[in-house]
């Protein structure tokens, strides 16, 4: 059946967590459409590492089974990572249930995960070809659920500083306005990748030559990382915007009025609200603010939570497509 859970932004919309029940134990996890491993903080970790975290205890689950000899090791785009061993258990997300889901039990996690005490781990929702379990690669929750979901979809409804929804198996049309614009996904990279080769600022004339012209939809990335041409084009319209090497990206006066960004998603222009591009102050006085739109020199571009806060996104695993509409 279908499943729906509320998601909650951590402070500053840095990441979005939602409850996942594993072997009867409910923990909050970071839903990540940019990776394909489901791994958890668990009772194998040291008490220091576990301090402040919820943890999954396989010994307390009557349905847990170890996968002898299986291991995982994952490194993320931001340099963080986790590694450990693997078992299976029943996973229930708001009613959508998978038995025999690979549960990756971290025995080693990087610092940024240890300090992020609200998160018990990640649930990867990209394509299973990116899963890191060896010797036998495992499937994502969504892949395992596909056959039993009423519709082969999951949706992301992420909000600024407010509860949103992750839903499996149904598209709730009360969550967005207008029709969903569908675009084919190129699954070769293992990401939810689509063509994005044009942008416009504040309703101005579109520029249609973004180098590479590809992007991925990544709920696990906080910001929106676009080609330099998009970033330069956008911030050229923001008074006082500077590239602030000390801070590590573009900043502008917090008092600036930010224009909306129109960005191509498979041939349809989606809007990212200017308000959502004002990400956070970098100083105590709230004078200088950090942009939610920043440059990436690698491809594809990465449309993270800044994009999702303005756009409801449906991920269709039946025909490998993305549906986007304003919300």
Ligand X SMILES: N[C@H]1[C@H](O)[C@@H](Sc2ccccc2)[C@@H]2OC[C@H]1O2
Which residues are known to be catalytic? 32, 196
Among 24, 78, 161, 179, interactor with ligand X by CB under 6 A? 78
Among 112, 161, 177, 287, interactor with ligand X by CB under 6 A? 112
Site mask, ligand X, residues 118-157, x = CB under 6 A? Answer: ----x-----------------------------------
Among 39, 76, 166, 290, interactor with ligand X by CB under 6 A? 76
Residues 218-237 that bind ligand X (CB under 6 A): 218, 220-221
Spell out the residues 6+ positions from residue 245 whose beta carbon is closer than 8 angstroms to its own.
none
Return the DSSP state at 34. T
Query: Rounded to the nearest whole angstrom, what is the least distance from the CB of residue 161 to ligand X in the complex?
Result: 18
Shorter beta-carbon distance to ligand X: residue 64 or 127:
127
Residue 189 and residue 204: Cα distance in Å, rounded?
A: 32
DSSP 60-95: G-TT-EEEEEEEEEEE-TTS-EEEEEEEEEEEEETT
Asked whether the CA dihedral 132, 138, 139, 141 is positive or negative, the reply is negative
Burial environment of residue 216 by CB neighbours within 10 A (0 to 12, 13 to 18, 19 or more): buried
When asked if residue 81 is in the footprint of ligand X (CB under 6 A), the reply is no
323 DSSP β-pair partners: 182, 314
Shorter beta-carbon distance to ligand X: residue 15 or 167:
15
Return the DSSP state at 120. -
Site mask, ligand X, residues 169-208, x = CB under 6 A? Answer: ----------------------------------------
Residues 9-38 that bind ligand X (CB under 6 A): 15, 30, 32, 34-35
Query: Which of 187, 21, 170, 17 minimizes the C-alpha distance to 101?
Result: 21
Query: Which of 55, 150, 163, 58 minimizes the C-alpha distance to 95?
Result: 150
Query: Rounded to the nearest whole angstrom, what is the least distance from the CB of residue 306 to ligand X in the complex?
Result: 13
Query: Rounded to the nearest whole angstrom, what is the least distance from the CB of residue 34 to ligand X in the complex?
Result: 3
Selected range binding ligand X among 2-10, 185-193, 215-223, 269-277, rule: CB under 6 A = 215-223
Shorter beta-carbon distance to ligand X: residue 185 or 200:
185
Cβ-contact 147, 304 below 8 angstroms: no
């Amino acid at each position: 059946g279908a499943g729906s859970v509320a998601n909650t932004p951590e402070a500053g919309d840095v990441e979005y967590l939602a409850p996942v029940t594993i072997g009867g134990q409910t923990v909050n996890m970071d839903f990540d459409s940019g990776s394909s491993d489901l791994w958890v903080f668990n009772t194998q970790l040291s008490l220091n590492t576990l301090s402040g975290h919820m943890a999954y205890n396989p010994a307390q689950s009557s349905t847990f089974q170890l996968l002898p000899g299986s291991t995982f090791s994952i490194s993320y785009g931001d340099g963080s990572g986790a590694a450990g061993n693997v078992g299976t258990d029943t996973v229930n997300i708001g009613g959508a249930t998978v038995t025999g889901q690979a549960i990756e039990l971290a025995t080693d996690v990087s610092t940024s995960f240890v300090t992020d005490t609200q998160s018990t781990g990640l649930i990867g929702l990209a394509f299973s070809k990116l899963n890191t379990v060896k010797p036998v690669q495992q499937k994502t929750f969504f892949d395992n659920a596909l056959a039993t979901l009423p519709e082969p979809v999951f949706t992301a409804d992420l909000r600024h500083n407010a509860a949103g929804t992750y839903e499996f198996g149904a598209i709730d049309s009360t969550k967005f306005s207008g029709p969903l614009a569908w675009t084919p996904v190129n699954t070769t990279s293992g990401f939810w990748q689509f063509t994005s080769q044009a942008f416009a600022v504040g309703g101005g004339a579109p520029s249609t030559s973004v180098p590479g012209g590809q992007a991925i939809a990544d709920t696990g990335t906080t910001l929106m990382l676009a080609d330099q041409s998009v970033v330069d084009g956008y911030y050229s319209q923001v008074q006082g915007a500077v590239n602030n090497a000390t801070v590590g990206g573009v900043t502008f006066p917090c008092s600036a009025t930010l224009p909306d960004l129109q960005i191509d998603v498979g041939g349809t222009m989606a809007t990212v609200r200017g308000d959502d591009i004002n990400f956070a102050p970098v100083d105590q006085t709230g004078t200088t603010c950090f942009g939610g739109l920043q440059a990436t020199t690698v491809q594809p571009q990465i449309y993270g939570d800044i994009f999702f806060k303005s756009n409801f996104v449906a991920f269709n695993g039946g025909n490998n497509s993305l549906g986007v509409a304003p919300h």
